[in-house]
Amino acid sequence: MYNTRLDTLLDYPFSRLRTLLEGTAAPAGVPPLALSVGEPQHQPPVELINAALLAGADTWNRYPPVPGTDDFRLACTEWLNRRYQLAEGYIDPASMVLPLAGSREGLFMAALLAVPENKSGYMPAVLMPDPFYAVYEGAARFAGAEPVFLPATEETGHLPDLDAIPASLLDRTALFYLCTPSNPQGAVASADYLRKAITLARRHDFVLAVDECYAEIYSHTPPTGALEVCRDMDGGSLHNVLVFHSLSKRSNAAGLRSGFVAGDKALMTRFSRMRSYAAASTPLPLLAASSALWRDEAHVVANRAAYSAKFDLADRILGNRLGYRRPAGGFFLWLKVGDGEAATARLWREAGIRVLPGAYLSRGEAGRGPGDPYIRVAMVHEPEILAPALERIVEVLDI
Ligand SMILES: Cc1ncc(COP(=O)(O)O)c(C=O)c1O
């Protein structure tokens, strides 16, 4: 016997992409290019990482504590304070911050933390935007909850319409995953939007998990964070709110597997206890390298400028074709191409370019999801690779 909850999930989006393209050859003589995966190809600050790893080289024999080190939690807290103008002491690094082996595992585990056996006598629901980061659905299913997909479409500003969620659903909601800037569309939730989401979480007593892992990649205005909204409401309470951050995008260090979660002290206390049993704790040298990265802004500013320059390229090459609009945050293009799966197959066959069909990030109803007409293009490569690829995308798809 095994856990049959796995069978309620479709294959992971990248497996589905492999299946779609299996047996289709890219054109001969054209080097294949992956714009499907959101893996930054800019250089991480290697010297900073290596220096910290070397300095911590005498700690490889030690089991890393699940809550990390004081220094790591302090570095995260100081960064939160700087980034979101929080007063010192608002976030207590000792009790309100925990390291994650990448934000993905923390987001997954948040469902195990939040979902009770039943909520108000009903099956617990886990709300998520649709389209969404696939881990949210997996987490909901494995926690024994019903995933509920809230359309995040052009009409709703690419974020779920909070006013459209029925009170009866909110009453049985245990967890709401909200992603801002959102993957895939790059939409950013305003302070008003976050305030409304936090109010709903408190009124209906569910956990609001705000995935802010793209918070440092934006073109103009720094995306508002849930913590700064909490600071300004209900006497600064952090009740019901957790935020998730990552070095994968901020520092191009996806291989470091390092992020953190912060928020509501009561939830964090339970999370810490639970993580003692199950979490992949982060090795001490990696925590030291992570602290160095959270303390350094220069590489983040340069990284953001590099993305911004690439979106300038996209502005020029795509104009208003393929439904392009420059996203407020994140590093994806979300292009409306009619049939996203067909367009993906065509780009591979004719140009050797791999993108991701929006359908694989989307569920919808009756076999039709709001992501179906789209493809997601990750702007992760250097401009000299990206510019000709964008030109080819337009040539192949803009008919
Ligand atoms: C929306 C979103 N959340 C979380 C993650 C997880 O990132 P990591 O585990 O590298 O921190 C990703 C990675 O692609 C993502 O796109």
* Closest ligand 1 atom to 101 CA: 9
Please name the residue that has the structure tokens 């886990």.
126
Q: What is the pairing mode between strands 173-179 and 125-130?
A: parallel
CA of 371 from ligand 1 middle (Å) equals 19
Confidence band for 399, pLDDT divided at 50, 70 and 90: low
Q: Is the CB of 185 under 6 A from ligand 1?
A: no
Contact 147, 140 (CB under 8 A): yes
Q: Is the CB of 211 under 6 A from ligand 1?
A: yes
pLDDT higher for 364 or 178?
Answer: 178
User: Where do the domains of the chain lie, and which CATH numbers do they carry?
Assistant: 4-43+299-397 (3.90.1150.10), 47-296 (3.40.640.10)
Q: 342: which 2 tokens?
A: 């067909």
- pLDDT for the residue 364: 80
Contact 264, 208 (CB under 8 A): no
Q: Determine which residue's CA is closest to atom 2 belonging to ligand 1.
A: 133
Return the minimum-mean-pLDDT range out of 5-9, 259-263, 285-289: 5-9
Classified as helix, coil or strand, 300 is: helix
Confidence band for 367, pLDDT divided at 50, 70 and 90: confident
Q: Determine which residue's CA is closest to atom 14 belonging to ligand 1.
A: 38
CA geometry: angle 109, 245, 283, nearest 5 deg:
70
Residue burial 197-215, b: 16+ Cβ < 10 Å; e: rest? bbebbeebebbbbbbbbbb
Q: DSSP states of 304-357 as a string?
A: HHHHHHHHHHHHHHHTTGGG----SBSSEEEEE-SSHHHHHHHHHHHH-EE-EE
Residues 6+ positions from 343 with CB-CB distance below 8 Å: 337, 355, 357, 375, 397
Confidence band for 41, pLDDT divided at 50, 70 and 90: confident
When pLDDT is averaged across residues 227-231 and rounded to a whole number, the result is: 98
User: Which residue of 179, 183, 258, 379 sits with most ligand 1 atoms within 8 Å of its CB, as the best mutation to test the pocket?
Assistant: 183
Q: Is the CB of 183 under 6 A from ligand 1?
A: yes
Q: Is the CB of 86 under 6 A from ligand 1?
A: no
User: Which residue of 41, 109, 133 sits with most ligand 1 atoms within 8 Å of its CB, as the best mutation to test the pocket?
Assistant: 133
Q: Average pLDDT, whole number, for the chain?
A: 96
Of 372, 378, 375, 393, nearest to 335 by C-alpha is 375
pLDDT at 213 exceeding the cut of 80: yes
- pLDDT for the residue 120: 87
Q: Determine which residue's CA is closest to atom 15 belonging to ligand 1.
A: 133
Strand partners, 211: 179, 244
Residue 150 per-residue DSSP state: E
pLDDT at 208 exceeding the cut of 90: yes
Q: Rounded to an integer, what distance in angstroms lies between the CA atom of residue 298 and that of residue 381?
A: 20
CA of 213 from ligand 1 middle (Å) equals 6
- pLDDT, tens digit (0-9, with 9 covering 90-100), for 116-149: 999 989 999 999 999 999 999 999 999 999 999 9
- How many angstroms separate the first and last alpha carbons of the chain? 51
- pLDDT, tens digit (0-9, with 9 covering 90-100), for 166-183: 999 999 999 999 999 999
Q: Determine which residue's CA is closest to atom 4 belonging to ligand 1.
A: 104
When pLDDT is averaged across residues 278-303 and rounded to a whole number, the result is: 96
Q: Is the CB of 216 under 6 A from ligand 1?
A: no
User: Which residue of 248, 293, 376, 380 sits with most ligand 1 atoms within 8 Å of its CB, as the best mutation to test the pocket?
Assistant: 248
CA of 259 from ligand 1 middle (Å) equals 9
Q: Is the CB of 258 under 6 A from ligand 1?
A: no
When pLDDT is averaged across residues 381-399 and rounded to a whole number, the result is: 92
How many C-beta neighbours within 10 Å does residue 136 have? 27
Return the minimum-mean-pLDDT range out of 196-210, 251-265, 357-371, 381-395: 357-371
pLDDT at 398 exceeding the cut of 80: no
